Amino acid sequence: MEESLYREIEEIIEKYREEETPLLCVLQEVQEKFHYLPRNVLGYIAKKMNVPSSTVYGVATFYSFFETNPVGEYVIRVCKSTPCHVQGAFNVLQALKRELGLKEGETSKDGKFTLEVTSCLGVCGVAPAMMINDVTYGNLNDERVREILALYRR
């Protein structure tokens, strides 16, 4: 890893120095920068924050928004909880799989998209729904999925 990246991580840790137990905040911000949390980065964070690396790794693998493997530029999270399920979430997932040529948990070869399923996004009023990074899309059907993907393919 490049020297400058380590410096950026140090800056993030420094930013939260005043906070009590800021591990989650640090991991969130580091992931925002690098899109995922590589193992050597986790080790470096552990060393700098003086926390056992097993703890850091345990936290990073516990929460579904933390990625320990490389992900695409756009992470698509399709809700499959019951309110979306009974409104056709299965078909939306099929449409996404077909359009992207990906299975759940896979990333496209060009590094653009990662497809994941998730629990309730809290927008059940417009079910079925999905999130692409931090933008929410609702009332999905095959056509809407194609339109939305076109926006990100440009």
Partner 1 sequence: MFYRTHVLVEMTSSSVAFGAAQVKEALEREIERVGLKNEVKVLETGSFGASLPSPFVVIYPDNVIYAPLRVQDVRRVVEEHLLKGRVVRELMLAGGLEWKTSEFAFPFPLAKETRVVLRNSGFIDPLNIEDYIARDGYMALAKVLTEMTPQEVIEVIKRSNLLGRGGAGFPTGLKWEFTYKAEGQEKYVVCNADEGEPGTFKDRLILEGDPHSILEAMAIAGYAVGAREGYIYVRAEYPQSIRHLEEAIRQAGEYGFLGENILGSQFSFWVKIRKGAGAYVCGEETALLESIEGKRGEPRVKPPYPPQKGLWGKPTVINNVETLANIPPIILRGPEWFKSIGTPTCPGTKVFTLTGNVNNLGLIEVPMGITLRELIFEIGGGVRGGHGLKLVQTGGPSGGTMTPDLLDVPMTFDTLPKYNSALGSGALTVVDDTHCIVDVVKSFGEFFLHESCGKCTPCRIGNKRIVEILEKISEGKGTLDHLEELLHLGRNMKMTAFCGLGQAAPNPLLRCLEFFREEFETHVKEKVCPAGTCQLKSLQRTVR
Nearer to partner 1, 102 or 130 (CB): 130
Q: Where are the beta strands (DSSP E) in 1-153?
A: 74-79, 113-118, 130-132, 135-137
Residue 69 interacting with partner 1 (CB under 8 A): no
Comparing CA positions, the residue from 62, 3, 20, 4 lying closest to residue 37 is: 62
Cβ neighbours for 70, distance < 8 A, ≥ 6 positions apart: 35, 36, 38, 107, 111
Q: Which of 87, 92, 100, 115 binds partner 1 (CB under 8 A)?
A: 87
Binding to partner 1, residues 103-132 (CB under 8 A): 118-127, 129, 131
Residue 62 interacting with partner 1 (CB under 8 A): yes
Residue 28 interacting with partner 1 (CB under 8 A): yes
Q: Which of 6, 8, 25, 99 binds partner 1 (CB under 8 A)?
A: 25
Instruction: Please say whether the beta carbons of 87 and 128 come within 8 A.
Output: yes
Residue 137 interacting with partner 1 (CB under 8 A): yes
- Rounded distance between C-alpha atoms, residue 53 and residue 2, angstroms: 21
- DSSP assignment, residue 64? T
Q: What's the closest the beta carbon of residue 108 comes to partner 1, in angstroms?
A: 22
Q: What's the closest the beta carbon of residue 19 comes to partner 1, in angstroms?
A: 8
**Distances in Å between the alpha carbon of 109 and those of 62, 73, 115, 126?**
26, 11, 12, 31
Q: Which of 12, 76, 81, 145 binds partner 1 (CB under 8 A)?
A: 81
Q: Interface residues with partner 1 (CB under 8 A)? A: 20-25, 27-28, 55, 58-59, 62-66, 80-83, 85-87, 118-127, 129, 131, 134-139
